[in-house]
């Protein structure tokens, strides 16, 4: 397959590019480098600078890539803004980049005859589910603009697919973490908001301490429970998703998580096996549900996918990557 990875210079798009190349696919990356980095693009992939809010940036790539008689088979969309508090303070920027960006990209794909789309969505579309275990058919009630933009994108893709005969694969990710085993790529950003890299920065003395927000939730140890999935397991699911939709089996919407929940305290305890983690408890943050874990039976059943890498591997790979990054 020839795969266009839009946002392929970012964390998840970069790792997916690596897995696509390893699976023998031809990878083309389009990215505006707003939060991404060229280091994340596999050396065998072709890179084009461009912004998906400009239709000509996308059509230029699709036209250039069709010139050898092998047009793009699948477009994967990772090009979003994704920081929840920022989405609350700047909702219009989120609608513009995430929703308008996807709309423009879909228009270009339809015009250029690309019929297969893989889209990165998020567990944030579920909001605060009562049971804490999310199934794909559960109600979607986002509680922040980021989740709302992703839900709007999911709906747009489904309507456009119906009108124009596209196949889609929508993935709802849970907490993605870890680094590629080669340590060539990992989560390397100025603004880190996810638990695992924050834990490891505290371990390496790159931040004074880790704050644990809330110890009075209705969970066994009072801290929030989340579902952590290794980036490589997640990236490999994208290869399977693209192969599924291009093989005439139809479209799909599936959760990608590990199917297991760990509390913040359990994550810190597991990390303590690798290094000391200075931490301090702080009050709850608004909008943090007590428990958010994935039911992954649909991904297992439809894609034959099974996450293989556990929490210890997630933590160790992130720590090793951060050590390499900081020469520690
Ligand atoms: N990281 C997570 O834990 C997580 C969880 C759920 C969902 N997601 C989704 O996964 C996707 C990728 O997330 P990530 O963590 O890799 O983020 P990232 O910021 O590392 O990657 C996003 C990439 O898209 C590029 N980009 C953004 N806007 C663009 C535009 N208008 N035109 C061209 N390129 C643009 C950025 O430069 C960057 O390379 C996002 O859609 C996000 O919503 C991520």
Q: Measured from the CA of 35, which atom of ligand 1 is nearest?
A: 37
Sheet holding 133-134, edge to edge: 133-134, 291-294, 225-226, 262-263
Q: What is the pLDDT of residues 149-167, one digit of tens each?
A: 999 999 999 999 999 999 9
98 near 153, Cβ under 8 Å?
yes
User: Mutate which of 80, 118, 237 to test ligand 1's pocket (most atoms within 8 Å of Cβ)?
Assistant: 80
Nearest atom of ligand 1 to the alpha carbon of 97: 31
pLDDT at 288: 86
Could you write out the three-class secondary structure of the chain? CEEEEECCCCHHHHHHHHHHHHCCCEEEEEECCCCCCHHHCCCCCEEEECCCCCHHHHHHHHHHHHCCCCCCCEEEECCCCCCHHHHHHCHHHHHHHHHHHHHHHHHHHHHHCCCEEEEEEEHHHHCCCCCCEECCCCCCCCCCHHHHHHHHHHHHHHHHHHHHCCEEEEEEECEEECCCCCCCCCCCCCCCCCHHHHHHHHHCCCCCCEEEECCCCCCCCCCCEECEEEHHHHHHHHHHHHHHHCCCCCCEEEEECCCCCEEHHHHHHHHHCCCCCCEEEECCCCCCCCEEEECCHHHHHHHCCCCCCCHHHHHHHHHHHHHHHCCC
Identify which of 77, 82, 117 to mutate to test ligand 1's pocket (most ligand atoms within 8 A of the CB).
Answer: 82
The pLDDT tens digits for 247-262 are: 999 999 999 999 999 9
User: Which range, of 54-58, 119-123, 188-192, 321-325, averages the lowest pLDDT?
Assistant: 188-192
Cβ contact 27:44 at 8 Å: yes
- pLDDT grade, residue 271 (50/70/90)? very high
So what's the pLDDT on residue 76? 98
Tell whether the model's pLDDT for residue 190 goes beyond 90: no
User: How far is it, in rounded angstroms, from Cα 38 to Cα 31?
Assistant: 9
Stated pTM of the model: 0.97
List the catalytic residues.
Answer: 146
Would the pLDDT of 328 be above 80?
A: no
Domains and CATH numbers, the chain: 2-177+230-256 (3.40.50.720), 195-227+259-325 (3.90.25.10)
Asked if 12 contacts 179 with a C-beta cutoff of 8 angstroms, the reply is no
pLDDT digits (tens, 9 = 90+) for 24-75: 999 999 999 999 999 999 999 999 999 999 999 999 999 999 999 999 999 9
Cα separation, 209 vs 277, in Å, equals 7
Query: In this model, does residue 286 exceed pLDDT 90?
Result: no
* 222 CA distance to ligand 1 middle (Å): 31
Vertex 138: Cα angle to 132 and 139 (nearest 5): 105
Q: Is pLDDT at 285 greater than 90 in this prediction? A: no
* pLDDT, tens only, 315-324: 999 999 999 9
Q: Which of 34, 309, 59 is nearest to 177 (CA)?
A: 309
Q: How far is the CA of 121 from the centre of ligand 1 (A)?
A: 10
Does residue 112 carry a pLDDT above 90? yes
| Cα angle 293-296-301, degrees, rounded to a multiple of 5 | 175
Going from the Cα of 51 to the center of ligand 1, the distance in angstroms, rounded, reads 13
Q: Cα of 9 to ligand 1 centre, how many Å?
A: 9
129: tokens are 């589910």
């Amino acid at each position: 397959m020839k795969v266009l990875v839009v946002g392929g210079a970012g964390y998840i798009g970069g790792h997916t590019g690596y897995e696509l190349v390893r699976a023998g696919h031809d990878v083309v990356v389009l990215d505006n480098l707003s939060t991404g980095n060229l280091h994340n693009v596999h050396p065998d992939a072709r890179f084009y600078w461009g912004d998906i809010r400009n239709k000509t940036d996308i059509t230029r790539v699709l036209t250039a890539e069709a010139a050898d008689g092998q047009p793009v088979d699948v477009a994967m969309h990772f090009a979003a803004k994704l920081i929840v508090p920022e989405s609350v303070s700047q909702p219009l920027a989120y609608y513009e980049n995430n929703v308008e960006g996807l709309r423009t990209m879909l228009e270009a794909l339809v015009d250029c005859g690309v019929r297969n789309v893989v889209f990165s969505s998020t567990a944030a579309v579920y909001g605060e589910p009562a049971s804490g275990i999310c199934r794909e058919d559960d109600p979607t009630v986002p509680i922040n603009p980021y989740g709302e933009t992703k839900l709007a994108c999911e709906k747009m893709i489904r309507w456009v697919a119906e009108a124009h005969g596209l196949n889609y694969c929508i993935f709802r990710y849970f907490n993605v973490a870890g680094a590629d085993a080669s340590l060539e790529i990992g989560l390397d950003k100025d603004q880190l908001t996810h638990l695992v890299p924050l834990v490891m920065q505290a371990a390496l003395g790159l931040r004074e301490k880790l704050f644990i927000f809330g110890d009075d939730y209705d969970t066994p140890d009072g801290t929030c429970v989340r579902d952590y999935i290794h980036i490589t397991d997640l990236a490999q699911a994208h290869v399977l998703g693209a192969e599924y939709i291009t093989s005439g089996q139809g479209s799909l919407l599936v959760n990608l998580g590990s199917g297991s929940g760990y509390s913040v305290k359990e994550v810190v305890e597991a990390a303590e096996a690798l290094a000391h983690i200075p931490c301090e408890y702080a009050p709850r943050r608004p909008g943090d549900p007590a428990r958010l874990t994935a039911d992954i039976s649909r991904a297992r059943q439809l894609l034959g996918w099974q996450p293989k890498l556990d929490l210890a591997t997630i933590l160790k790979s992130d720590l090793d990557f951060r050590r390499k990054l900081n020469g520690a």
